[in-house]
Chains A and B, each alone.
Chain A
Amino acid sequence: AQKITQTQPGMFVQEKEAVTLDCTYDTSDPSYGLFWYKQPSSGEMIFLIYQGSYDQQNATEGRYSLNFQKARKSANLVISASQLGDSAMYFCAMREGRGNNDMRFGAGTRLTVKP
């Protein structure tokens, strides 16, 4: 069974600095996708970034990048130049196989950006 682990319940970062949110996963399927979502207090889950298990390069989307270390089964999210609006819950998720399986989520990390 697939499992996602986020070991940091809460993180603090100073505005304009970079922060890394950790995520490790466990799967025996060679084909899988990894996702990061942001959930502000409003409740909506906002898609941030995607990494496929066969992707050779780390994914990047603006200020977000994914540090994908396949052998270690880790997929850490790096947010550069933090902004106050980045304060939210962040969830790591994984979907196994070719996309017809459900997405499983980690417990989340609450990020607080300090001015």
Chain B
Amino acid sequence: KAGVTQTPRYLIKTRGQQVTLSCSPISGHRSVSWYQQTPGQGLQFLFEYFSETQRNKGNFPGRFSGRQFSNSRSEMNVSTLELGDSALYLCASSLEGDRGQKAFFGQGTRLTVV
């Protein structure tokens, strides 16, 4: 069974640009969550999607948005990039009804804003 796949693995963008990151969950997993990881703030929850609906949202500005497609694949978008958006963005999928709803992560997309 394939794991969570995130593309691209690395990105370099300029301040003010926008970026779209993609996540394909494990087959059968309908819940997809996004996290931002930085050395200063650690791992912070961005949002969670389930069956194409945003179910939970973290404390991030509106520049951060996401969506989920009918095949459970998810994208997140960051508009008007700032230097502070440089981070590792991790996507996780989980199986509804699984004991504890364990999250399985992809390898992440490392975004650098210059």
Contact = CB atoms under 8 A, between A and B. Distances in A.
The answer to whether A and B come from one shared complex is yes
Interface of A: 33, 35, 37, 42-47, 50, 52, 91, 95, 99-108
B56 interface: yes
Contact of A47 (B43, B55, B90, B104): B104
Contact of A45 (B42, B90, B94, B98): B90
B93 to A, nearest CB: 11
B99 A44 contact: no
B64 interface: no
A55 B56 CA distance: 26
A66 to B, nearest CB: 12
Contacts of B108: 43-44
B100 interface: yes
A99 B100 contact: yes
Contacts of B104: 47
